[in-house]
Structure 1
Amino acid sequence: MIERNPVPTELQLGSGDPASATVDAVVIGVLAGDGTPVLAPGAAEIDSAFDGGLAELLAVAGASGKAEEVVRVPTRGTITAPLLVAVGLGPLDDGAEPDADAVRRASGAAARALAGTGHALSTLGRLDLAAAAEGTLLGAYSFTEYRSNGGGKPPVGRVYLLSDADGADDALRVATAVATAVTTARDLVNTPPNDLYPASFADRAVALAEAAGVEVEVLDETALAEGGYGGVLGVGQGSSRKPRLVRLRWSGGESPRATVALVGKGITFDTGGISIKPAANMDQMTSDMGGAAAVIATTVLAAQLGLPVAVTATVPMAENMPSDTAYRPGDVLRMYGGTTVEVLNTDAEGRLILADAIARAAEDGPDYLVETSTLTGAQQVALGMRTAGVMGSEELRDRVAGHAQATGEGGWAMPLPEHLRADLDSRVADLANVSGTRWGGMLVAGVFLSEFVPEGLPWAHIDIAGPSFHSGGPYGYTAKGGTGVPVRTLFALLSDIAENG
């Protein structure tokens, strides 16, 4: 089992004049003005040290203020730090300060540029301390556990964030905890499937839960059979590495405001089973447990911060493999609770294990149920690789989508049209696991899941097939590989519920 500190970069609150700070580098923000860079608020002392000519100097060095642009300028003794790093925040918007995600993205870009640096100071905390902290830690993230050479330059060692805001200590503490949860989810997604399989994934969940004082229960294949979890068992029966179902429970403290059920898809590797996937990009199917990683990390985070919301995570874990014991197209599975499902495509396996988990989670009588999963390629076709599709009860759906957008993780409310239910009619069972057409696949999957949600229970389904994994080069605070989406969305929702019910 790989164990490490997921956020090796240390954050501390800074104070005093950044021009005289004894650090290796100072970070300032730059906005894109009308053809010229404009210094963002927070850099006045640095500009004064350059006799008010810093913006002109940065323009000569090529700075424009474009979002995430990084320009490095040697200071030659003008300020104490030998290096000035100017990072773009995007267009100047009628004098308004940059929004939180612009600060978060700029801080992430700066953190990557500071790899190999010992100590740095950032003035971006004066714009938004929490966003600067999250962006710095997430931008500094790298997954190097399987690299024999250590993976190149180490991340920046320590960053002092300047802030004049009230409650800065608490804001930094919470932001650090949130970023740590995101990187924990990233680590789980990035761990290769030969090391992360249902039993070892369950072990990781147990270790995380116990360290945070979270109650945890693991059902093995025998307990799953006794409990009637036909979806999890059916999907997992083709692998020699047997399925699990993990339940984590945070009590919410003495007076929880509400109870929330979280459900996450935990397919540790997905070949498609008998309905096997094309070989191209199948290596990325190690990320098919991104939803499970997110809900585990979020539940642990809620406990660590003492959030007054009772949270129970129900996480089905299986490996979808083709073999002589694998489930087949044409099989009928009996889900937890008794509903029967005809399997028409074994590559639509996520909804089968989620059906069991949703039905079980609903038995607890939660006030809200939120499920997230890398569920459909149709989500990627409809919304691309950075925008999750959010479905479910309209009020909760819109609430979740709003938090996804506000946190910068991205989410868009989508409908669940009633007429699509007829496409899931089966000739032999209560319903089929896929429709007979290619149209509206993301929505059809949501309609399938809705069959297992009790009437009247507010619920939301977040399809993160695209946003959970980034296969290109890093940008903003997003590294290549697992993204940790939608941990920050889920935490924002829980915080909202804790405050407003």
Structure 2
Amino acid sequence: MTALTLSTAGAATLRADALVVGVAKSGKTLVVAPGAEAVDKAFDGRLAAVLETLGASGAEGEATKLPAPAGLKAPVVLAVGLGSAPEDGDSYAAETLRRAAGTAARTLTGSKKAAFALPVAAAEDVAAIAEGALLGAYAYTAYQENGKDAKKPLAEVAVLGAKPRDKAHKAAAERAQAVAEEINRARDLINMPPNDLYPATFAAAVTAAGKEHGLKVQVLDEKALEKGGYGGILGVGQGAARGPRLVRVAYTHPKAEKTLALVGKGITYDSGGISLKPAGHNETMKCDMSGAAAVFSTVVAAARLGLEVNVTGWLALAENMPSGNATRPGDVLRMYSGKTVEVLNTDAEGRLVLADALTKASEEHPDAIVDVATLTGAMVLALGNRTFGIMANDDEFRSAIHEIAEEVGEASWPMPLPADLRKGMDSPTADIANMGERMGGGLVAGLFLQEFVGEGITWAHLDIAGPAFHEGAPYGYTPKGGTGSSVRTLVKLAERTAAGEL
């Protein structure tokens, strides 16, 4: 785990393996960003010129290493691009600092300590730099014990210009560390191989965290699910050798006036079931529990931050496997709500487990429900790999979540729930089918889920199928593999709810 410290020490005097500075573009000129004045002085005021000679442009995502001159305690200077310099008097955007810090932390893999001399004008900058660095320093190495030559993640991050005795700076850093560590918890779960992470072991991880953070955890196993009539979760999980679970994990605050319910899709492996996925589409399906991981991590983060809001997480956990016991296309499931669903495609399984969990969550009459799921390939086709879609039964709530996501640096887009698409799910056999029109498939899935939300309850659906798992090269603070998408949005939503803003 990467350590985080705040320091008022000068960049020239702090001992570290590397000094991280920011550079930006001002017209056609490369400029050194605030915070690096002492470093620039050590280069006789020519740091920007030296970097230009080395080909640096100041573009976001760019990182340039160079030997430190005499006068600096660190042997290496790492210049990271911040893009265009803001106009006079303006600060750098938080997401710009977050990504730059993440780029630096990734570049400095193998180093013990790095001092970040990036622009700090307010507590928000401290938070962004700390968060970006801690997320960028992430690496999943649990299954690489023989990789002795592999470089370890950056061990310590020191944020210069941040005052450890300043209450705002200290609080910003503590929040950033808690949120980053919980995002990394979600990443670990998403990256874990499905032979080790399955419903029972996922539930065990939640139980262990519950004991550590004072959370109330309830686990429904196959017998309890059957007794309770959870036909959606059981129908999806019945083809697997390892049975499904429904986990309730709750954080409560004695002064809380509102309750936020979060529901996460937790398909620990998705083969597609009888409607088997084609070759080339199975290899990353351990990530189909990313929604449940995000919900779990958010509840723990709320507890760590002591938020004055009740946050209840519902994790609908199952493996979707083909076998002689598996649900078949054409089968009809009786859901926990009592509704019957004709299963036309067993690879549209996420909505089935979420439907049961949404109904159960609704019974507690929370002030709002948000479900999170890697639900549809259609959403990836619509929004790409870095943006999640937001649907809701309340336009203001949908807009609020979108604004929150943009504020914390998570790309999202509000999506509609067109009533005319509902007819495509009409079934001659059951109350509803789990598939509808192919076009607008992500919206059809949202309409299906809406059927299982309790009357009068504000609800939103986040389809994180695109950004939940990154298969390309790392960038900014985003690693290859599980990303922890939506945790920052959900934590900020809980904070806004606690503050009475929602």
Query: In structure 2, what is the equivalent of residue 5 of structure 1?
Result: none
SS at match of 2:313: strand
Instruction: Say whether residues 1:203 and 2:204 are aligned partners.
Output: yes
What residue is the counterpart of 2:236 in the other structure?
A: 235
Q: How does 1:103-114 map to 2 (within 5 A)?
A: 103-114=97-108
Q: Secondary structure at the match of 2:241?
A: coil
8 Å contact from structure 2 (residues 92, 119) kept in 1: no
Pairing of 1:263-274 with structure 2 (within 5 A): 263-274=263-274
Question: Which residue in 2 is equivalent to 1:480?
Answer: 480
The residue number in structure 2 matching 1:297 is 297
CA drift of 1:94 comes to: 2.5
Aligned to 2:4, which of 8, 11, 24?
11
How far is 1:454 from its partner?
A: 2.1
Q: What does 1:367-386 align with in structure 2 at a 5 Å threshold? A: 367-386=367-386
Residues 447-489 of structure 1: CA deviation (Å, up to 9, x unaligned): 0000011232111100001110000110000000000011011
* 1:101 matched residue in structure 2: 95
Give the gaps of 5 or more residues in structure 1.
1-7
SS of 2:461's equivalent? strand
Partner residue, 1:179:
180
Counterparts of 2:390 and 2:229 in 1: how far apart (Å)? Answer: 29
1:151 Cα deviation from its structure 2 partner: 6.8
Distance 1:162 1:211 in 2: 32
2:226: which partner in 1? 225
The residue matched to 1:20 in structure 2 has which SS?
coil
Bigger Cα displacement from structure 2, 147-156 vs 294-303: 147-156
Q: What runs of 5+ residues in structure 2 fail to find an aligned partner?
A: none
Q: Is 2:33 the partner of 1:35?
A: no
Aligned to 1:4: none
Distance 1:399 1:180 in 2: 25
Letter of the 2:452 counterpart: F
What is the CA–CA distance in structure 1 between the aligned matches of 2:402 and 2:231, rounded to whole Å?
Answer: 31
Please give the alpha-carbon distance, in whole angstroms, between the structure 2 residues aligned to 1:205 and 1:409: 25
Q: CA deviation at 1:93?
A: 3.3
Shift of 1:406: 1.6
Alpha-carbon offset, residue 125 of structure 1: 6.1
2:329 corresponding residue in structure 1: 329
Q: 1:217-366 residue pairs with structure 2 within 5 A?
A: 217-251=218-252, 253-366=253-366
Q: 2:159 aligns with which of 155, 158, 161?
A: 161
Structure 2: how far apart are the matches of 1:151 and 1:34?
A: 43
Q: Name the structure 1 match of 2:132.
A: 135
Q: Which amino acid aligns with 2:420?
A: H
Q: Is the 8 A contact 1:33 1:65 kept in 2?
A: no
SS of aligned partner of 2:306: coil
1:257 and 1:497 in contact (8 A); partners too: no
Q: Distance in 2 between matches of 1:303 and 1:163?
A: 29
Deviation at 1:229, TM superposition (A): 0.4
* Aligned partner of residue 369 in structure 1, secondary structure: strand
1:56 and 2:49 aligned: yes
Contact 1:340/1:431, CA 8 A, preserved across alignment? yes
CA deviation digits over 1:207-261, x for unaligned, max 9? 112211100000000000011100000000000100000000111x221131000
Match of 1:425 in 2: 426
Counterpart CA distance in 1 for 2:86 and 2:172 is 26
Distance 2:254 2:238 in 1: 41
Distance 1:204 1:151, change over 3 A: farther
Q: Provide the rounded CA distance (Å) in 1 between the counterparts of 2:213 and 2:223.
A: 28
Whole-angstrom distance in 1 between the partners of 2:361 and 2:20: 46
Report the 3-state secondary structure (helix = DSSP H, G, I; strand = E; otherwise coil) of the residue aligned with 1:182: helix
**Aligned 8 A contact 2:373 2:463 in 1:** yes
**1:279 Cα deviation from its structure 2 partner:** 1.7
The 2-side partners of 1:452 and 1:359 are apart by: 5
Aligned position for 1:152: 150
Alpha-carbon displacement from aligned partner over 1:421-440 (angstroms, at most 9, x marks no partner): 111111111100001x3100
Alpha-carbon separation, structure 1, partners of 2:110 and 2:289: 32
Secondary structure of the 1:289 match is helix
Aligned-partner Cα distance in 1 for 2:118–2:459 = 37
**d(CA) in 1 for partners of 2:105 and 2:364?**
43
Kept in 1, the 8 Å contact 2:230–2:336? The answer is yes
Identity %: 52
After TM superposition, the structure 1 stretch with the greater mean CA deviation from structure 2, 291-300 or 10-19, is: 10-19
Using the TM superposition, name which of 10-19 and 151-160 deviates more.
151-160
- Alpha-carbon distance in 2 for matches of 1:150, 1:297: 30
Rounded to whole Å, the distance in 1 between the matches of 2:113 and 2:143 is: 26
> Residues 404-415 of structure 1 correspond to what in structure 2 (within 5 A)?
404-415=405-416
Question: 1:65-90: CA deviations, max 9, x gaps?
Answer: 10010011101324221111100011
Going from structure 1 to structure 2, the CA distance change for 1:151 and 1:198 (only over 3 Å counts) comes to farther
Q: Structure 1 residues 88-97 or 265-274, which shifts more?
A: 88-97
Give, in angstroms, the shift of residue 164 of structure 1. Answer: 4.3
User: How big is the shift at 1:316?
Assistant: 0.9
Contact residue 74 and residue 82 of structure 1 kept, 8 A: yes
Q: 1:441 & 1:142 partners in 2: Cα distance? A: 34
Deviates more, 1:183-192 or 1:296-305: 296-305
Ranges of 4+ aligned residues in structure 1 off by more than 4 Å: none
Contact 2:42 / 2:70 at 8 angstroms: preserved in 1? Answer: no
d(CA) in 2 for partners of 1:173 and 1:35?
38
Taking the aligned partners of 2:302 and 2:183, their CA distance within structure 1 comes to 13
TM, length-normalised to structure 2: 0.96
- Using the alignment, how far apart are the partners of 2:65 and 2:52 within structure 1? 12
- Tell me if the contact between 2:332 and 2:341 (Cα under 8 Å) persists in the aligned partners: yes
Q: Tell me the TM-score normalized by structure 1.
A: 0.96
What is the match of residue 495 of structure 1?
495
Instruction: Return the alpha-carbon distance in structure 2 between the equivalents of residues 31 and 246 of structure 1.
Output: 47
Structure 2 CA distance, aligned partners of 1:137 and 1:47?
26
Q: In 1, are the aligned partners of 2:261 and 2:369 still within 8 Å (CA)? A: yes
Corresponding position of 1:121 = 115
SS in 1 for 2:283: helix
* Partner secondary structure for residue 97 of structure 1: coil
Q: Is the Cα contact below 8 Å between 1:469 and 1:483 reproduced in 2?
A: yes
Q: 1:424·1:433 contact (CA, 8 Å) conserved in 2?
A: yes
* Worse overlay, 451-460 or 420-429: 451-460
1:74 aligned partner, one-letter code? P
